[in-house]
Amino acid sequence: MAAAPEPLAIERVLRRLDQDLWVIDRPLRVYGLQIGCRMSVVRLADGSLFLHSPVPHDAETRRALDALGPVRHVVAPNKVHHLFAGAWRDAAPDALLYAAPGLPEKRSDLRFDRVLDDDAPSAWDGQIDQALCRGIPYTNEVAFCHRGSRTLLLTDLIFNMHDGENLWTRLWLRAMGIHGELGVGRHVRHLVRDRAALRESLDRILAWDFDRVVVAHGVVLQRAGRRVLRRAFDWLGDRR
């Protein structure tokens, strides 16, 4: 039997944010932009792990996760954050793979077990709330809220990048209007096809009880998440 990872080895891979909530940060370069990526890990009541927005799989990461519990749920939360889902399907064959609407058609090479919607599966119902962010069909992002830690989990809906690792990244962030603060980039606003539907989805999210916001790109917002998120969407206009 393999030895359990030493605590320092686990801490090198996983950053604990709260009770039963960790994140794993990895570098990611897209079209020359160094935007990084982040996977959130939630330990559910039955001891199993919920992986949100998978990062690349490697042996050290898997050992660290195994020390927390068995990987049972791997979530590709939008139509863009899917690049590493297949590796986790291969590495954790007993886990279920969940997809944002439209992703199974985009990634027909992967076998997804369930398409996400507004209703949480029984595996995490009552522990993690979820809502499809309608109105942006290019991404079809599904937002999640871990009740136990009062944490909202998002991917591309908002960025919180305070700096870029290279000049090109910094220039792009400034051009998108999201350099140095949590906000919705101009590239995302351009993708909105139904503002009313997006407003309705945002109202549902803002009704949740959360304070922390974990984003896939940038800095984790540790407090005042609901207020900051509401302000980030002021451009949508009055909500019903």
Whether the pLDDT of residue 48 is over 70: the answer is yes
Query: What range defines the domain where residue 178 resides?
Result: 7-236
Task: Report the pLDDT value the prediction gives residue 1, as an integer from 0 to 100.
Answer: 47
| 29 or 26, higher pLDDT | 26
pLDDT of 217-232, one tens digit each? Answer: 889 999 999 999 999 9
Q: Is residue 2 part of a domain?
A: no
Q: Is residue 221 part of a domain?
A: yes
Q: Output the domain CATH number for residue 32.
A: 3.60.15.10
- How many domains does one find in the chain? 1
Q: Which DSSP state fits 161? A: B
Phi first, then psi, for residue 63 (nearest 5°) are: -65, -40
Q: Is residue 109 part of a domain?
A: yes
Whether the pLDDT of residue 216 is over 50: the answer is yes
pLDDT of 130-187, one tens digit each? Answer: 999 999 999 999 999 999 999 999 999 998 877 656 787 788 778 877 777 778 888 8
Q: Is residue 174 part of a domain?
A: yes
Q: Is residue 82 part of a domain?
A: yes
Gap between the terminal Cα atoms of the chain:
58
pLDDT of 5-27, one tens digit each? Answer: 555 466 778 999 999 999 999 88
DSSP class per residue in 93-161: TTSEEEE-TTHHHHTTTS--SEE--SSPPTTTTTTEEEEE-TT-TTT--EEEEETTTTEEE-SSS-BBB
Q: Is residue 79 part of a domain?
A: yes
Distance CA 52, CA 224 (A): 22
Listed residue (37, 48, 47) closest to 76, CA to CA: 37
Q: Rg for the chain (alpha carbons), in Å?
A: 17
